[in-house]
Chains A and B, each alone.
Chain A
C-alpha cells in the first residue's frame, strides 16, 4: 500500500477535519472583540482614485520632452531666484512655490488617445508582503505593500523596491512625482524619480496631523484630504488647513434616500467630504445633500462645493445635479473632463449603475452604457451585481470596473466600450485597487496576486 492509494477524498476530509480540531475556544470571541475595540478602523472611502498621469502617446511624448526641458530651465532659474525653493511639475503644469504667480496649464480639451484592445495576464507579485495599493505614474505603475515597501517594475521585467518608514502608506501621482501619505496621519513625503529609481524626498509640512487618503492636483495648487478635513498648498510642500471647508452646517435637512445605503450609517463621526474634482478654476467637492447622510458612503444625492483656492468653500448647488436618489462612488478626470460612477434608484431598495460626465464638475450628464462583455462568472448568477466599483483616468482615457471583473473603456469619457473579459472573470477576483499608467492597467485583489492588462493603439 502506498500513499496514493491511501489519499482518497474521504480520508483527506477526515484527516483535515481531525487536524482542524474542535470549535474555537470560548474566550476567543471576547478577546477579538476587545482587540477590535482598541483598533481604529481605516476611514478610507471607496472613491479613492488615481490622478491624471501625463500622456505618453508619441505626440504627447514629444510635447512632454519639450515641457521637461522647459521645466528644467525654469527649475534652474527658480532655484537661483528663490533660493532653492521647491519647484514641482504637475502634468503639463508648473507648480511654483506659494505666493508666486499662477502656473501654466496644459490642454483642457479632450483629445482622442490610444486605448486599444487589452491583453491581460496574471501578475505574480514579488516580495513577501501584500500589495494593498497601486497607482499609475508616467513611469509605470507602482505598488505599496503592507510591509512598508514601494515596488515598481523595470525594463527587464524585474522589480525594484524602496523601503518606506513605518506606516500604512498610499501613493498618489503628482505629475511625474508621487506623494506618499499615511492613513495614520503622521507624515507624508514627496517621492521623485531618479533614473529607474524612486527616491524619498522631504516630508510635507502639514498643518497638524491628518491621514492622507486622497490628493488632488490642479492649476490652483494641491489639496489633501483625510475625508473629513482639507489642507491645501499652492504648489510647494507647505500645507494649510482650509479655513472654511465644506460643512454640513450650511446644509438644510432633506428627505434624500439613496437605495442600498440605508444600513450604511453611523459610527464614522463627522462624516466625509466625498469625491473631489480639479478644474482650471479651482476645486470641487461632493458631499451628501442631507447633513444626516454625511456619514454614509458612497455619497447620497451629492451637492457641489466650489473653492478657487482650496481654503474657502461655498455651495455651488443646493440640489443634486445627479438627480433624486442617486449616489456617487468615484470620480476620475483628465484633460478637463470628469467621469462619475454611482447608482440611481430602481426601486425603494434597489439601485442600478449610472455613469455621468461633466466638463465643469457642476453640471452632470448621465450616459448610456453598454452591457458587460461576457456572462456572470460566479456560480450563482444572483451574485453578479455588475455594480461599478472603480473608475480611473490615465493618458489613454478612462476605465471602469465592476465588482465582477468586467471592464469598460473610453477615450473621451462619453463613448464607452465593454472591454474584453480579463483573467479575473470567472476566477473569482475581488477587485480592490486599480492603476492606469501608460500602456498598462494593474489590478489587484486583496492578496498576493494581481493582473496586468497591456494595451496600445
Chain B
C-alpha cells in the first residue's frame, strides 16, 4: 500500500485519538509556552485596575455548560481582579438559566464570601428572564425590576444597593456570553447612559465584537480561553486557562499537519485525474 493510499483511508477515530493525546499531554505536563498579551485584554485589565473605591462593576453572565470551558476562566480571572480592588462594588447578574450556578461556583472558587462582605461589597442578583427587556429594566430602575437577590434577600436589606438605582450608577459593565446579550448591554447601558462596556466572549463571537472595539464603543474584549490565559498572566494567578494554552498550541499544530496532509492527498489525486 502506497503512502497516498494509506492517507486516503478514513481515519476519523485515529484523528480523535491524536487530538486527545495532543491536548492531554500538555495538560498533565505543562510546557510553559509564553502567553503574549493582546491589547484588547490589556485594555480590560487597565480599566479595571483604574477603578476607584466606590465604583460599581456589573458582571453580566450567560455562562452555561456549552460555553463553560471558554468563558468561565475569564469570569473567574476578572472576578478575582475586581475582588483585589479595595472598595469596588461588584454586582453579578445572569441572563442565562445556568448562569447562577457558575456565578456561585466562581464566587466559591475565589473564596469571595470569606474575603468580602456579602451585601456590602458584592451582590449576586441571580437569573433575570426577559433578555433585552430585562437588561433594559435593570438599567432603568433596578429596584423597580427586582425586590430580592439570588438567595432571596430583600434588596432593601443589602446596604450596597442603597446607592445603586440605574445604569448611571454602574461604572463599568462586563458581559460574559456567547449570544446576543453583549449587544443588549450596548443598546441599553452604553447607548442611553454612556456606561462603559467590555465583553468576555467565546472565540466565534470575537470578530463581531471587534467592530465595536475599533469604533471605541467597548473598552476591551477577552477572547475565549486565550484571553482568559492572558488575563490570568496579567493578574499573576495562572490557572486552567494558562495550562490550556499549551494544549491549544499543540492542537493547532496537529490541525496544521492534518490540513497539509489533506492537501497533499488532494493535489496528488487531482494530478492523476
The answer to whether A and B assemble together is no
B residues apposed to A, CB below 8 Å: none
A residues apposed to B, CB below 8 Å: none
